[in-house]
Amino acid sequence: TGVQDVCSSDLLKADSTNIELHFIHLNLLKKSQQWPKALKKCEKLISLQPQNPRWLFEMSDVFGVMGDSVNAKVYLDLAIKTQKSVQ
């Protein structure tokens, strides 16, 4: 939690649009099984890069781990559709 606190407070407040920092923070949240916070982080990444299917796949993954298969499928389908439109 010390690393997460630094990531979430100081660095992210300093540059709230830094994709790499948000991605690192997402991975820390997932590693520590903070699923609701991980979902919010996915939402932030999607808002910063709506055409990046990676964040939709991440969102699907988090929903899946949380046992929400309906939303996991919704985001998986959306990720696949987005990936096809980007290619």
The predicted structure's pLDDT at residue 12 = 62
Contacts 24+ apart (CB under 8 A), 64-73: 65/30, 65/35, 66/35, 66/39
The predicted structure's pLDDT at residue 17 = 87
More confident position, 8 or 19: 19
Regarding pTM above 0.85, the answer is no
> How does residue 86 score in pLDDT terms, banded at 50, 70 and 90?
confident
Closest alpha carbon to 59 in 21, 20, 23: 23
What's the gap between Cα 16 and its chain centre? 14
Average pLDDT for 14-42:
93
